[in-house]
Copies of this chain bind each other. A is one copy, B any other.
Amino acid sequence: MDSMTGTGVVGIGQAGGHGSSSGSGSGKCTTCAYRNLCLPPGLSGRQLAVVEGALGCRRRIARNSALFRDGQPFGNLYAVRVGHFMTTRADHRGEHYITGFHMAGELLGMDAIGSGSHASSAIALEDGEVCELPYARLQRLLVEFPQFMEHFHRILSQEIQREQSAIRFLGILRADERLASLLLNLSSRYAMRGFSPRRFRLRMGRDHIARYLGLTIETVSRLLGRFREQGLIAIEQRDVELLDMRRLEGIAAGAAR
């Protein structure tokens, strides 16, 4: 059920309007609402200080601009602090497809460690802020703190699982099942962050949703309309409310066969 985008990691953020005001005010991990995602639990104060010193450089990203681009050399991982991002990949024709939507507390750039250059681009869906994690320094930290290393392996592994779920998703699910899954997935991820799982705003346009789900804009639009007719959701522009989560889950699981 936690298929699609979204690490399974529990990142309990404080509630609040999920616009561009979450995340910690200071640049410190200590006070960051999402530190459970980046750091292993139970670090000592001294360890935390060392980690902060090595990793804590913030960076602002404007809406529609790129955090990194396909082909750029890999140097940093990034933890999303504020805002939403999407990752896109180009295939051999010019086409871009979307590999995931990412919200605060998630890590970006992990797919580039292996090859040394980014195979995907990360685009900000709204003005946002990330925490830059220089990979070379990170490596040194991992050697120093084995529990941190283990934590990092878990994050990488969960990313693998996440991608595998997305495969099932596009491989065997029907259009309505895909869309229902996406809505429920976003819902559960907002819930993990302390936001309402029932009402939220879609940060991406219909075209992005379509390119993520492997569908066309028209199909997405028609399905949203049908879900509304059926009383499953209320939707106005990009603001959506899940009215009947049970039935949505049924659809995602293939109830209508």
Instruction: Show the binding face of A for B, using Cβ within 8 Å.
Output: 1, 3, 8, 89, 91-93, 95, 97, 99, 110-115, 119-120, 139, 142-143, 146, 149-150, 152-161, 163-168, 170-172, 213-214, 253-254
B97 touches A172 (CB 8 A): yes
Could you tell me if A171 and B172 are in contact, using CB atoms closer than 8 angstroms?
no
Contacts of A150 in B (CB 8 A): 139
Is A114 touching B146 in the complex (CB atoms < 8 A)?
A: no
Q: In the complex, what's the smallest C-beta–C-beta distance from A255 to chain B, in angstroms?
A: 9
Distance to closest chain B CB from A17 (angstroms): 31
Q: Give the top 9 A-B pairs by smallest Cβ distance, nearest first.
A: A171-B214, A163-B163, A114-B157, A113-B157, A114-B158, A170-B171, A170-B170, A156-B156, A114-B154
- Nearest residue (CB) in B for A160 is B111
C-alpha spacing A115/B159, complex, angstroms: 11
Tell whether, in the assembled complex, residue A110 and residue B172 are in contact, meaning their CB atoms are under 8 Å apart: no
A-B contact pairs, 19 of them (CB 8 A): A1-B92, A8-B114, A89-B164, A89-B165, A89-B168, A91-B172, A95-B172, A99-B167, A110-B157, A111-B157, A113-B153, A114-B153, A114-B156, A114-B160, A120-B164, A143-B149, A163-B166, A170-B170, A170-B214
